[in-house]
Amino acid sequence: MSPRLPSVRRGERDRPAGRLRRARSAPAAPPVLAACGLSAGYGGAPVVRDLDLPVRAGEVVVLLGPNGAGKTTTLLTLAGALAPHSGEVHWAGAATTAPLHRRARAGLSLVPEDRSVIMSLTVRENLRVGRCDPALALAAFPELAEHLDRKAGLLSGGQQQMVTLARALARRPTALLADELSLGLAPQLVTRLLMAVRAAADDGLAVLLVEQHVRSALTIADRVHVLRHGRVAWSGTAAEAEANREAVASAYLPLA
């Protein structure tokens, strides 16, 4: 999918950014999850290098970048699905090498790029999988209530993604890592999913979001990192990203 560049003109405020993003004035808390000098990849050569990326309780950090920049690799390494080549992942203030299932038990929720609903199960059954509290899932997405007895395979892509996200949120995680929630979805659904993520962050969840849908992601982001060729090419607050759209967009351009 082609990246959607942040091309909104200043002053064009047809999105609910101001309402979705909470005011942040408190001093920075220690991160729940952090990449510290992290390099990672597949086999010998690292795909991402020297990443420093803290994610704090109550904030949404968005990782942007062109195809192949290393966003998913970063997410998988932070989640414990990939071992770092060098550097460390810190969880709750200490370095961790725990695998994904142990990080999940400790409060990390990963929403991978492929919607992980079980198609042959009903929505109700999906919402009971993996220490999930169905009542919490329905609190996040009340619109799923009318589909509880439908097989997940019969839902639309957006509804399936709601089930995936509802389940992830209903495990009461302390950190949520989500890869391309918006992939292939209509803008209205993207907004709905991102609003649920923002609400969870406002309740204290630490969120790292990989997104191609830049404009939507900026509506809920607190901080933004742009990856290019496995390195951070640009970092700043969401307000700075909005004010420096050219700098952010240039990370998507091919090298001269």
Ligand X SMILES: Nc1ncnc2c1ncn2[C@@H]1O[C@H](COP(=O)(O)OP(=O)(O)OP(=O)(O)O)[C@@H](O)[C@H]1O
How many H-runs (helices) and E-runs (strands) does the chain carry?
Answer: 10, 10
Minimum distance between the CB of residue 184 and ligand X, rounded to whole angstroms?
A: 13
CB of 113 to ligand X, least distance (A): 7
Q: Is 42 exposed, middle or buried (0-12, 13-18, 19+ CB in 10 A)?
A: exposed
What would the two tokens of residue 128 be?
A: 């009971």
CB contact burial 90-99 (16+ within 10 A = b; e otherwise): bbeeeebeee
Q: List contacts with ligand X (CB under 6 A).
A: 42, 47, 65, 67-73
Q: How far is the CB of 223 from ligand X (least distance, A)?
A: 18
Query: Is 68 or 130 the residue whose CB approaches ligand X more closely?
Result: 68
CB of 6 to ligand X, least distance (A): 16
> Which CB atom, from 61 or from 140, has the smaller least distance to ligand X?
61
End-to-end CA distance of the chain: 22
Q: Which of 117, 236, 125, 114 is CA-nearest to residue 179?
A: 114
Residue 67 or 156 having the CB closest to ligand X:
67
Residue nearer to ligand X on the CB measure, 42 or 156? 42
To the nearest whole angstrom, how small is the minimum distance from the Cβ of residue 3 to ligand X? 8
Among residues 81 and 239, whose Cβ is nearest to ligand X? 81
- Residue 136 CA to residue 218 CA, distance in Å, equals 26
- The CB density around residue 48, as the number of other CB atoms within 10 Å, is 27
3-state SS string for 6-56: CCCCCCCCCCCHHHHCCCCCCCCCCCCEEEEEEEEECCCCEEEEEEEEEEC
Minimum CB distance to ligand X, residue 119 (Å): 23
By C-beta, is 1 or 119 nearer to ligand X? 1
Query: Structure tokens of 207?
Result: 């969120």
